[in-house]
């Protein structure tokens, strides 16, 4: 008798169907696993044999053949321990009940039959839902939040005995309780926007960036507040939704890193000495990089000009698509990478171009060479460009200071309007141009204004789309149903170019 049990294989966070075929034959005692198993899968035969012995089933004078389909896909990890054991019990007649093809089994076995979690457990669970399974048997992990997913029933099991009991119709202890849902962890922040003196325009720009997930580029002299603004930015981001929390946990699990506060958007700030593999992801056994660990959150690149130009150019595709595909000789994996990019750099090698307090000593050639470390396509992908300057420490700047909590409320309300408009969890900064025009068609006056400014400034098509997206976000913050002309003017003020640097340089040359 050949038994067929369904499971899941993982390529990164992407899952695919794996059918575990088990046949027991008379003959010399053998346990053979075929279907491109790696070492961890081949070792399953020892774990499964011991677990079945503890269950009371000995495999004596029997030839067991396990085939993992599809045969052309390389299988890895202990994820197939449980389905292999269930397949053997089904073939031996221990399990009499019918097991539907819509039922999935995942889990690693210990020698005494206990079922343990494994790296990528949450990614496999999310893949089970996407692949259309209606019932999932998986190990219980106290470190994971309660996964309530529509369309799939999850049965948490701790041993092989519990699986067999449940398959035979007996009830088992429910291992998940509402108190274990760590998704409701309280968020606390070390910094608040009310503590930042001045920079009112920058704060407004960051509010717009947070509401619509727009990328921000900052430049200015040392000590003007670039890093402070970026590090305070997470305090105005809304908490993650349940789906986003699960995506975050699955990526951090695969990377083997501490998750932190579950419902807080990730904030990653790699050093400029980090390798391209650390930023993008990969390695001999591909793992998520910084851009994937920043998924649904923020990637802050401080001193951006110090990063290798090749590494920065690798960001271009993930910024557009929201995912990164890593191709290796042994495998091809895809990780999500929908992050909000914040970049910061000095305007010149000495750092004081445009400063009100210091004199720039750089030549035009040095300035051009330094700014050229960021390619044009990377600069063009930033939605908001800010030139910051030092703020005078006087008492008048403490008036009408707004807290991060009040800004976060407006941001969250604006995002809810966007989700309702587009019918899914997506913001203006990522929505397609076609859907943006369909849901928010600009008026004739806005079109005319856009055409006039584009001809005057010689803006590319990407910049024009960027303006419409920014204007739509500003209108959402103002609770306006239609894209207004005032919102478009404010969006234009947030898009600056290197003209600022050239103007400041001309001023200094005249002073010389």
Q: Is residue 441 a part of any domain in this protein?
A: no
> Phi/psi at 91 (nearest 5 deg)?
-70, -30
pTM score: 0.84
**Residue 89, domain CATH:** 3.30.230.10
Are residues 142 and 263 located together in one domain of the fold?
no
| Dist CA 487 CA 176 (whole Å) | 48
Same domain, 202 and 341: yes
* Whether residue 247 is found in the same domain as residue 356: yes
- 508 within domain boundaries: no
Out of 155, 180, 205, a domain closes at 180
Distance CA 24, CA 47 (A): 18
Residue 266 shares a structural domain with residue 294: yes
How do the pLDDT tens digits run along the chain, 512 residues long? 789 999 999 888 888 999 999 999 887 888 999 998 988 899 999 999 999 999 888 888 789 999 999 988 889 889 999 999 999 999 988 998 899 999 999 999 999 999 999 888 888 998 999 999 999 999 988 777 666 677 888 889 999 999 999 998 887 766 554 444 444 455 678 889 988 888 889 999 999 999 999 999 999 999 889 999 999 999 999 999 888 888 898 899 888 888 878 889 999 999 999 999 999 998 877 889 999 999 999 999 999 999 999 999 999 999 999 999 888 766 788 899 999 999 999 999 998 888 888 888 898 899 989 988 999 889 889 999 999 988 877 655 554 578 999 999 999 999 999 999 999 999 999 999 999 999 999 889 998 998 888 888 888 888 889 999 999 999 999 999 998 899 999 999 998 654 554 555 455 555 54
| Residue 465, in any domain of the structure | no
Same domain (yes/no): 269, 305: yes
Q: Do 165 and 200 share a domain, yes or no?
A: no
Domain annotation covers residue 25:
yes
What secondary structure letter does DSSP report for 200? H
Shared-domain flag, residues 239 and 287: yes
Tally of structural domains, the chain: 2
Among 428, 452, 473, the domain-final residue is 428
Statement to judge: residues 126 and 223 lie in one domain: no
- The CATH number of the domain where 360 resides is what? 3.40.50.300
Q: For residues 358 and 66, what is the distance between their CA atoms, to the nearest angstrom?
A: 73
In the chain the first and final C-alpha atoms are separated, in Å, by 92
Distance (Å, whole) CA 243 – CA 316: 26
Q: Cα–Cα distance between 202 and 217 in angstroms, integer?
A: 11
Residue 282 domain-assigned (yes or no): yes
- Helix, strand, coil % over all residues of the chain, rounded to 5: 40, 20, 40
Contact 121, 106 (CB under 8 A): yes
Residue 3 near residue 24, CB atoms below 8 Å: no
Residue 437 in any domain: the answer is no
Cα–Cα distance, 242 to 184 (Å, whole number): 10
Euclidean distance between CA atoms 338 and 213, whole angstroms: 10
- In this structure, the number of other CB atoms found within 10 A of the CB of residue 293 comes to 24
**In-domain check, residue 297:** yes
**Torsion over CA of 192, 195, 199 and 204, rounded to 10 degrees?**
30
Q: Is residue 108 part of a domain?
A: yes
Say if residue 365 is in the same domain as residue 329. yes
Note whether 290 and 412 are same-domain residues.
Answer: yes
Instruction: Examine the domain organization and report whether 28 and 140 are in the same domain.
Output: yes
* 230 in the same domain as 157: no
Give the structural domain span for 423: 193-428
Q: How far is it, in rounded angstroms, from Cα 352 to Cα 220?
A: 8
3-state secondary structure labels for all residues of 81-131 = HHHHHHHHHHHCCCCCCCCCCCEEECCEECCCCEEECCCCHHHHHHHHHHC
Burial class (CB in 10 A: 0-12, 13-18, 19+), 395: exposed
Domain boundary among 428, 459, 487: 428
């Amino acid at each position: 008798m050949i038994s067929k049990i369904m499971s899941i294989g993982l390529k990164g966070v992407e899952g695919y169907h794996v059918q575990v075929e088990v046949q027991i034959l008379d003959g010399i005692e053998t346990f053979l696993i075929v279907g491109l198993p790696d070492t961890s899968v081949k070792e399953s035969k020892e774990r499964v044999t011991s677990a079945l012995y503890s269950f009371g089933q000995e495999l004596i004078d029997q030839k067991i053949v396990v085939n993992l389909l599809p045969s052309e896909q390389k299988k890895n990890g202990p994820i197939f321990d449980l389905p292999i054991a269930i397949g053997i019990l089904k073939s031996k007649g221990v399990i009499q009940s019918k097991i539907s093809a819509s039922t999935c089994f995942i889990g690693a076995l210990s020698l005494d039959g206990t079922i343990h979690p494994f790296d990528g457990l949450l990614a496999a669970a999310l893949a089970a839902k996407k692949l259309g399974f209606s019932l999932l048997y998986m190990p219980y992990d106290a470190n994971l939040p309660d996964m309530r997913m529509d369309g799939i029933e999850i049965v948490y099991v701790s041993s092989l005995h519990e699986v067999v009991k449940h398959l035979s119709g007996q009830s088992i202890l429910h291992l998940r309780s509402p108190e274990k849902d760590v998704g409701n962890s309280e968020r606390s922040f070390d910094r608040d926007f009310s503590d930042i003196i001045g920079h009112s325009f920058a704060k407004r720009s960051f509010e717009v960036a947070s509401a619509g997930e727009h990328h921000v580029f900052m430049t200015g002299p040392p000590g003007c507040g670039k890093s402070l603004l970026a590090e305070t930015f997470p305090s105005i981001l809304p908490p993650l939704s349940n789906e986003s929390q699960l995506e975050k946990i699955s990526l951090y699990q695969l990377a083997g890193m501490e998750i932190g506060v579950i419902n807080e958007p990730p904030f990653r700030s790699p050093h400029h000495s980090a390798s391209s593999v650390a930023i993008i992801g990969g390695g001999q056994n591909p793992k998520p990089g910084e851009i994937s660990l920043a998924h649904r959150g923020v990637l802050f690149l401080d001193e951006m000009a110090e990063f290798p130009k090749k590494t920065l150019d690798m960001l271009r595709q993930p910024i557009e698509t929201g995912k990164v595909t890593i191709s290796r000789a042994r495998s091809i994996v895809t990780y999500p990478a929908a992050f909000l990019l914040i970049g910061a750099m000095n305007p010149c090698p000495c750092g004081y171009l445009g400063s009100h307090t210091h004199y720039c000593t750089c030549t035009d050639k040095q300035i051009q060479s330094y700014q050229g470390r960021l390619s044009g396509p990377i600069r063009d992908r930033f939605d908001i460009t800010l030139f910051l300057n030092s703020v005078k420490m006087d008492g008048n700047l403490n008036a009408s200071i707004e807290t991060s909590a009040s800004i976060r409320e407006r941001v969250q309300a604006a995002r809810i309007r966007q989700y309702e408009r587009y019918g899914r969890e997506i913001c203006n900064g990522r929505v397609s141009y076609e859907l943006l025009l369909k849901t928010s068609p600009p008026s004739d006056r806005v079109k005319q204004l856009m055409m006039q400014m584009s001809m005057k400034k010689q803006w590319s098509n990407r910049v024009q789309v960027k303006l419409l997206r920014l204007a739509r976000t500003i209108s959402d913050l103002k609770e306006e149903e239609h894209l207004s002309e005032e919102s478009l003017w404010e969006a234009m003020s947030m898009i600056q170019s290197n003209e600022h640097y050239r103007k400041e340089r001309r001023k200094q040359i005249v002073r010389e």
